[in-house]
């Protein structure tokens, strides 16, 4: 009998502090940085984002999202035998955020580790969990994307600091006799590392380099649109499906223009694209599971729908997952 994996519950969590573009513009103006709601919306589609309190970590956000996903799946934390956290803003250098979150869930013993692929992180983590379930290594996995990107933003750079937000999303992935995840496709090309990075590290008790986010927006945009289409088509081909078989496209929520361009290339109407970037901003590895949970709870996504998840991020990394919900 073939062994597959299937999403049985989704969850998400946003920190309470919500900043509209006007709120953020006012804070930046006090620092001598000029921006406006109109400028941000026109270029990105973002209208608001959430920032975590200073004492709240990625594992704290991930914990709430994980609990919501477990509740949706009708499971207890003790049922879980694998935890993977996708994050670029871990609680510590080590141990992994996943082990910290595991302890906060009150469980022990199961494997728990982080995946670092920036904004593609959730797609990478879901692919790894799917593989481990198919081989029998795990049966019930928590896959979480959690970020506190507000900690690594340069608030003197209006081209980047207006883009990102904090949050977490999670899914429960369980072994199944019927296919859930239909196909996956992962890629990376390190030659593009410099166009989106945080070029700092810790050595001898000091930060070496720059611990704040740097991005060449035009280069990222140009690369993203091309690789997202290619990855989506490769995933469809592996599953033997066509563009028209996609019920919902859930792209990484980075920029509305990238999302619109990808949908157009896949011949999908915007009514089939899950969009939360306007309210969440770019939450990196958390963006896809956040958007998915929002659409599930709003009644947009229903059992049996075919979903295309796709992400692109620093590294440069990209990939897609095609699944039956």
Between β-strands 166-176 and 4-13, what pairing exists: parallel, antiparallel or unpaired? antiparallel
CB-based contacts of 268, cutoff 8 Å, min separation 6: 243, 246, 249
Residue 282 annotated as catalytic:
yes
Q: Which of 21, 50, 68, 119 is catalytic?
A: 119
Torsion of CA 152, 154, 158, 162, to 10 degrees: 20
Joined together, the tokens standing for residue 234 give 């490769």
d(CA 252, CA 322): 14
**Cα 317 to Cα 1: distance, rounded to the nearest angstrom:** 34
Of the residues 50, 192, 252, 280, only one is catalytic, namely: 252
The token pair that represents 290 in the structure block: 């956040």
What are the counts of helices (DSSP H) followed by strands (DSSP E) for the chain? Answer: 10, 15
d(CA 144, CA 62) in angstroms, rounded, equals 6
d(C-alpha 12, C-alpha 250), whole Å: 15
CB neighbours of residue 156 within 10 Å: 12
Q: For 184-239, give the DSSP string.
A: EEEEE-GGGGGGEE--EEEETTEEEE--S-EE-HHHHHHHHHHHHHHHHHHHHHHH
Q: Active site includes 119?
A: yes
Of 21, 68, 255, 282, the active-site residue reads 282
Active site residues: 119, 252, 282
């Amino acid at each position: 009998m073939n062994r597959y994996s299937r999403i049985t519950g989704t969850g998400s969590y946003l920190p309470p502090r919500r900043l509209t573009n006007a709120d953020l513009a006012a804070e930046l103006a006090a620092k001598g940085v000029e921006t406006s709601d109109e400028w941000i919306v026109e270029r990105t589609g973002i209208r608001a984002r959430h920032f975590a309190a200073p004492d709240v970590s990625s594992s704290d956000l991930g914990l709430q999202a994980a609990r919501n996903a477990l509740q949706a799946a009708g499971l207890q934390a003790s049922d879980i035998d694998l935890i993977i956290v996708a994050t670029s803003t871990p609680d510590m250098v080590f141990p992994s955020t996943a082990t910290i979150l595991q302890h906060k869930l009150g469980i022990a013993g199961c494997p728990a580790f982080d995946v670092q692929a920036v904004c593609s992180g959730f797609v990478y983590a879901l692919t790894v969990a799917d593989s481990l379930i198919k081989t029998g290594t795990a049966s019930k996995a928590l896959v979480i994307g959690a970020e506190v990107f507000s900690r690594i933003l340069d608030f003197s750079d209006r081209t980047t600091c207006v883009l990102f937000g904090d949050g977490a999303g999670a899914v429960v992935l369980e072994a199944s006799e019927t296919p859930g995840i239909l196909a996956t496709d992962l890629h990376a090309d390190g030659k593009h590392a410099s166009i989106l990075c945080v070029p700092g590290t810790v050595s001898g008790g000091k930060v070496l380099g720059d611990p704040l986010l740097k991005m060449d927006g035009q280069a990222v945009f140009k690369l993203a649109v091309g690789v997202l289409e290619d990855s989506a088509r490769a995933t469809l081909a592996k599953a033997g499906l066509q563009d028209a078989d996609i019920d919902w496209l859930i792209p990484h929520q980075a920029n509305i223009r990238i999302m619109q361009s990808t949908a157009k290339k896949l011949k999908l109407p915007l009514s089939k694209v899950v969009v939360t970037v306007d309210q969440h901003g770019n939450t990196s590895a958390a963006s896809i599971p956040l958007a998915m949970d929002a659409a599930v709870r709003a009644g947009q996504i229903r059992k049996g729908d075919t979903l295309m998840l796709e992400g692109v991020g620093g590294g440069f990394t990209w990939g897609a997952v095609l699944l039956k919900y």
